[in-house]
Structure 1
Amino acid sequence: MSDILLLHGSCHGAWCWRDLIPALEARGHRVRSLDMPSHGADRTPLAEVTLDSCTEAVVAALGSETVLVAHSWGGFPATLAADRAPERLKRLIYLCAYVPREGHSLVDMRRLAPRQPILKAVRRAADGASYDIDPEHAREVFYQDCPAGTTEYALAHLTPQATLPQTTPAVLGQGHRAVARSYIRTLYDNAIPTEFQAEMARGWPLGDVHEMHCGHSPFFADPEGLARLIDDIDRAA
């Protein structure tokens, strides 16, 4: 079985993997989750958070042969971590995540999508240095198909997201190209359009692109199904 590291998306933290971790552990995996800077239990001030510091946090958490599962914006620091330490990764799994392109920031990538459904849920701080999630739209955008109580649980744990890491262009090397990768596309996603997810994984081998019939938070909506798929991907490696 594998060492699996779970990497959260914007405004979330290690807490969002609450239901997936036991489902993966039941399949024999060693599972860990990470709070990126300023999220969850990490108390880094928002003003100090950069794309580089997020990337370094991921690199520091890698084992010797880790399966890295990156959700949403987590695809950015995950890819850059793979650039810096490809020898420590067994596979990189993008879970409805952004796959960075050279010279593009996350904001640039989002604007390439044909639709911008996430914007209704974004509340920008007055100084522009961060944003958070509007509770009025949280369920519609992130948790529409999740069990009762999920939205309330998430709203109690969501934290502001620093803007700078997401407006910083990715400078890509060759390391990430040596890492095996898979994409899990969510077909009813109200945050990152599913057709844009397909575009980001265009040209990948068919066996490395998978689908789940759920929204943007499969770790809440279908943790057993997600654990089974991650396990299947790992076993097929």
Structure 2
Amino acid sequence: MSTFLLIHGSAHGAWCWRDLVPELSARGHQAIAIDLPSHGNDPTPPEEVGLEDYVSAILSSVDTPVIAVAHSSGGVAMTQAADRVPDLFMRLVYLCAYRPEDGDSVASLRRAGSSQPLLSAISRAADGVTFSFNDQAEEKLYQDCPPEAVAHALAHLGPQPIRPQEEAVSLSGAAHGLPQSYIVCTEDRAIPPDYQRRMAQALPESHRHELALSHSPFLADPAGLADLLDDIARG
């Protein structure tokens, strides 16, 4: 079976995959969930983190080819890592995630969306180093998740370093030469579903999928997400 590398999005960590990992294991797969620098249990100070640190963390976490699954902003770092060392990646899966072209950044891709639903949910730190989600986090990120899962997420959300989201990728085309899949979440209140479909449009129709879930399908319906990832892995 397959090995999945799970890459979280803004302000999250490996903790967000806690319900998906056992579901993938039950289907015979191995799942590796990582903390990007300054996230989760990683102690790196946020002022020291840039996009290259995310890329290095991804590449150092695997030594055999994986199916990488990136959530939300994690799609940018995943794409850069796969472009750098494509032999480590069997497939890239964008889970309601930003899919960059050369020169894009998380910030530029967010601004290119049809609307900016997350802006009101974000509070920028006075020092300009990080931002955090405010009391709108549940409404924007977890509206269909079980109460216990929402409590777990809200207790673990951390500050998001701003610099890695402003730094642009430099792509050779190697990443886009890899097999890719996109999972649109049709009830997403963070990245508009129509914008997700636009980012996915370059992929073959059979590699584009939709789930009637929020921005956090790994907590809303981990079994359903695992079924879809299992189907993707089986080709």
TM-score, length of structure 2 as denominator length: 0.98
Amino acid corresponding to residue 167 of structure 1 in structure 2: E
Q: Distance in 2 between matches of 1:46 and 1:191?
A: 23
Q: Distance in 2 between matches of 1:25 and 1:18?
A: 12
- Deviation string 1:169-209 (CA, Å, 9 cap, x unpaired) is 11111221231110000001000000000011113100000
Partner of 2:227: 228
Q: Distance in 2 between matches of 1:152 and 1:223?
A: 16
Please state whether the residue corresponding to 1:149 is helix, strand or coil: helix
Q: Which runs of 5+ in 2 are unaligned?
A: none
Partner of 1:112: 112
Q: Distance in 2 between matches of 1:184 and 1:177?
A: 16
Partner of 2:13: 13
CA-CA distance at 1:120 after TM superposition: 1.4
Q: Distance in 2 between matches of 1:82 and 1:105?
A: 16
Q: Distance in 2 between matches of 1:203 and 1:126?
A: 39
Q: Distance in 2 between matches of 1:185 and 1:85?
A: 26
Give the aligned CA root-mean-square deviation in angstroms: 0.8
2:173 paired with 1:174: yes
Partner of 1:142: 141
* Partners of 1:138 and 1:151 within 8 A in 2: no
- Deviation string 1:43-93 (CA, Å, 9 cap, x unpaired) is 000011000010110011123120100000000110001011111111110
Equivalence map 1:72-87=2 (5 Å): 72-87=72-87
Q: Which runs of 5+ in 1 are unaligned?
A: none
Q: Distance in 2 between matches of 1:203 and 1:84?
A: 21
Q: Distance in 2 between matches of 1:167 and 1:229?
A: 32
Q: Distance in 1 between matches of 2:104 and 2:143?
A: 29
Q: Distance in 1 between matches of 2:221 and 2:155?
A: 21
CA-CA distance at 1:101 after TM superposition: 2.0
Please state whether the residue corresponding to 1:156 is helix, strand or coil: helix
Amino acid corresponding to residue 152 of structure 1 in structure 2: A
Partner of 2:62: 62
Please state whether the residue corresponding to 2:118 is helix, strand or coil: helix
CA-CA distance at 1:104 after TM superposition: 1.9
CA-CA distance at 1:149 after TM superposition: 2.1
Equivalence map 1:18-97=2 (5 Å): 18-97=18-97
* Partners of 1:13 and 1:40 within 8 A in 2: yes
Q: Distance in 2 between matches of 1:194 and 1:174?
A: 25
CA-CA distance at 1:4 after TM superposition: 0.8
Partner of 2:205: 206
Aligned residues: 235
* Partners of 1:117 and 1:191 within 8 A in 2: yes
Runs of 4+ in 1 over 4 A off after TM superposition: none
* Partners of 1:150 and 1:220 within 8 A in 2: yes
Partner of 1:192: 191
Q: Distance in 1 between matches of 2:105 and 2:6?
A: 22
